[in-house]
Amino acid sequence: MPPTEPGSPAPPAPGRPLPGGLVVHRFAPTGRPAAEDARAALFVRTVERGFYEPEPTGEALDQLLGHEHADGRTYTGVYEAGADPAVDRPVGTFAGFGKRLHVGGGRDVDALLVSAVTVAPSHRRRGILRALMESELALAAAAGTPLAALTASEATIYRRFGFGAATALRRVEVDVRGDAALAGPVSGTVRLVEPAELAAIGPEVFERTRRQVPGSVERMASYAAHETDTVAGDRAGRGGLYAAVHHDDGGTPRGYVTYRFAGWDTEPATVRVSQLYASTAAGTRALWAFLASLDLVERIAWRSAPDDGVLEHLFADHRRVRTTHREDHLWLRLLDVPAALGARPYAHDGEVTLRVHDRLGHAAGDWRLSVAGGAAAVGRAAAGAGAAAPDLELDVADLSAAYLGGVPAEVLRQAGRVAEHRRGAAAELSGLLAPDRPVHCMTGF
């Protein structure tokens, strides 16, 4: 559905209707300052308030609107009937935009990214979230988008819409006191740079890294400001950002890290990693060797580390690495089963039939996944009287969780989420979907 004209409610979208007395306005930020785009400014301020964050104003608000315009976001706001979006706050918010998701083997798939989902406390339990989500998913499916993705603040909301948690991240602390030696060789050079220098190399290094990490989404427009310490206002604690870049032996930049010192009143003395990206394993080792050798620092903390175990194996003493928290990160929702399954690579040949249940209908049906030469053919399987039972039966949320291979279908079977009608079929699907690299989402949105 195209954006509406200023001040005009959008026509009804497919899906559940809104409760009486509420209307939808759908529009895109223009990228102009808040004073010239009042409805977008009020929308994003309402979103920040919905997540208990300080509402941006002035230069910070203008910068945020510019980033969201650059990402191509479309805002969907729910308003009281007769409200003016330039003056009246929405009682429900939803933002959608398109990015590419890496699914392994250097392959990308188009995805609808869902963000900024809030409902005012005064309007909860009135069907606003359901109406927004079902309508936006229907629009994406009608446009041929293979899947949708989001990151969730709560783990119990989105499964009912067909989303499954496909990747996880963790918070780690690394004890670097004494000789924090790495187990493997370190090559190339790492040098401190001014954060501003990352403007020239950050996007390219990030993209090279992303194309090797299944589960990673294209970078957000705001990343450049965070890396170069040019976030406006008070939203990022300006100043005190350090940056270091790894170059290989040929002088090509292969990775970078940004970090802040936590302050002398923190014990043990701690450096907090903000971003760490490396397009080679050598780059990862070199950056961690650099962090482990920082003078006067006793602990490295990272709140968005991959949940893949690599960090433990980097150090000769794996007990130096401690996970303090783990949580789901990227949630996926298949909308077009043949397109989504056909887009990703496969570990080996095989065939599995799936019966997918989908309350919204987008992925529902019996499907045959046939893999030959690492490529998949996906089509409808015979169903009805006289047809053979499918090998596996599962909800679309569980197929979506297993899609990247980070959550094995066999684990879901053991958890009672997948019904197996042919013995060993869940393990076979796990093998087919096994990723070529550890699954991780480098991107927040």
pLDDT in tens, 330-353: 999 999 999 999 999 998 999 999
Q: Which residues contact 279 (CB under 8 A, 6 or more apart)?
A: 205, 208, 209, 212, 254, 255
> Is the pLDDT reported for residue 236 higher than 90?
no
pLDDT at site 17:
66
> Is the pLDDT reported for residue 139 higher than 60?
yes
Average pLDDT score over residue span 216-221:
97
Query: Cα(230)–Cα(273) distance, rounded to whole angstroms?
Result: 17
Average pLDDT score over residue span 132-153:
96
Residues 234, 119, 68, 33: is their CA dihedral positive or negative? negative
Local confidence band at 4 (pLDDT 50, 70, 90 cut-offs): very low
> Is the pLDDT reported for residue 8 higher than 70?
no
Local confidence band at 213 (pLDDT 50, 70, 90 cut-offs): very high
Query: Cα(250)–Cα(225) distance, rounded to whole angstroms?
Result: 29
Provide the mean pLDDT of the chain: 93
Check if the beta carbon of residue 342 is closer than 8 Å to that of residue 117: no
Local confidence band at 234 (pLDDT 50, 70, 90 cut-offs): low
Which residues, listed in sequence order, are joined to residue 107 by a DSSP beta bridge?
104
State the helix-helix crossing angle for 58-70 and 38-50, rounded to 10 degrees. 100
> Is the pLDDT reported for residue 45 higher than 70?
yes
Query: Cα(256)–Cα(261) distance, rounded to whole angstroms?
Result: 17
Query: Cα(71)–Cα(29) distance, rounded to whole angstroms?
Result: 10
Amino acid symbol at 346: Y
Amino acid symbol at 336: D
> Is the pLDDT reported for residue 395 higher than 60?
yes
Check if the beta carbon of residue 357 is closer than 8 Å to that of residue 395: yes
Q: Please give the C-alpha separations between residue 41 and each of 29, 64, 226, in angstroms, as whole numbers.
A: 8, 9, 21
pTM above the 0.85 mark? Answer: yes
Nearest 5 degrees, angle CA 162-CA 163-CA 169? Answer: 165
Local confidence band at 387 (pLDDT 50, 70, 90 cut-offs): confident
Check if the beta carbon of residue 246 is closer than 8 Å to that of residue 255: yes
Identify the structural domains of the chain with CATH numbers, from first to last: 22-145 (3.40.630.30), 169-327 (3.40.630.30), 336-432 (3.30.1050.10)
Query: Cα(146)–Cα(130) distance, rounded to whole angstroms?
Result: 20
Percent of the chain surpassing pLDDT 70: 95
pLDDT at site 106:
94
Kind of pairing between the strands at 350-357 and 392-395: parallel
Which residues, listed in sequence order, are joined to residue 321 by a DSSP beta bridge?
174
HEC-encoded secondary structure of the chain: CCCCCCCCCCCCCCCCCCCCCEEEEEECCCCCCHHHCHHHHHHHHHHHHHCCCCCCCHHHHHHHHHHHHHCCCEEEEEEECCCCCCCCCCCEEEEEEEEEEEEECCEEEEEEEEEEEEECHHHCCCCHHHHHHHHHHHHHHHCCCCEEEEECCCCCCCHHHCCEECCEEEEEEEECCCCCCECCCCCCEEEEECHHHHHHHHHHHHHHHHCCCCCCECCCCCHHHHHCCCCCCCCCCCCCEEEEEEECCCCCEEEEEEEEECCCCCCCCEEEEEEEEECCHHHHHHHHHHHHCCCCCCEEEEEEEECCCHHHHHECCHHHEEEEEEEECEEEEECCHHHHHHHCCCCCCEEEEEEEECCCCCCCEEEEEEEECCEEEEEECCCCCCCCCCCEEEEHHHHHHHCCCCCCHHHHHHCCCEEECCCCHHHHHHHHCCCCCCCCCCCCC
| Among candidate residues 203, 195, 263, the one with its CA nearest the CA of residue 230 | 195
Query: Cα(1)–Cα(201) distance, rounded to whole angstroms?
Result: 37
Which pair of tokens denotes residue 404?
């990247």
Query: Cα(375)–Cα(220) distance, rounded to whole angstroms?
Result: 30
pLDDT at site 90:
97
